[in-house]
Amino acid sequence: MIVQAQDIVTKFGDKVVHDGVSFEVKEGEIFGLLGGSGSGKSTLMREMIFLQKYYSGTMKVLGKDLSLLDEVSKHEMRLKYGVLFQFGALFSSLNVLENISVGLKE
């Protein structure tokens, strides 16, 4: 399993964003998060990459329980991630390979 989320609860004060969200992403699978604005899609992503903590539940990435990792292990996990959020825009005039190459050329 690449990602396994079980009963994830996310709160901002009294506001509950996720209430028992569970899903799995298997190796080789294409998985999309769909929902309206403010439904918590980016919040789930931020929780998977240690930018935000979930209130309760279990989140495993690459078989590792994220809540049990120390800072060194979190850093090692971050080196394996590649995430681009919606407004981290790509150059529309370039293809994917050319967009990736921009950072390498810089």
Q: pLDDT by residue for the chain (106 residues), tens digit each?
A: 999 999 999 999 999 999 999 999 999 999 888 888 888 998 998 899 898 999 999 999 999 999 999 999 998 988 888 776 666 667 777 788 887 887 777 6
pLDDT at position 38:
85
pLDDT at position 87:
60
pLDDT at position 65:
96
Starting from the edge strand earliest in sequence, which strands make up the sheet with 64-65, in order?
Answer: 15-25, 3-12, 56-61, 64-65
CA–CA distance, 60 with 5 (Å, rounded to integer): 6
Q: What is the chain's alpha carbon radius of gyration, rounded to the nearest angstrom?
A: 16
Pick the CATH number of 3-105 from 3.30.70.420, 3.30.70.890, 3.40.640.10, 3.40.50.300: 3.40.50.300
* E strand residue ranges, the chain: 3-12, 15-25, 56-61, 64-65
pLDDT at position 33:
86
pLDDT at position 96:
81
Rounded to the nearest angstrom, the gap between the alpha carbon of residue 71 and the centroid of all alpha carbons in its chain is 17
pLDDT at position 28:
92
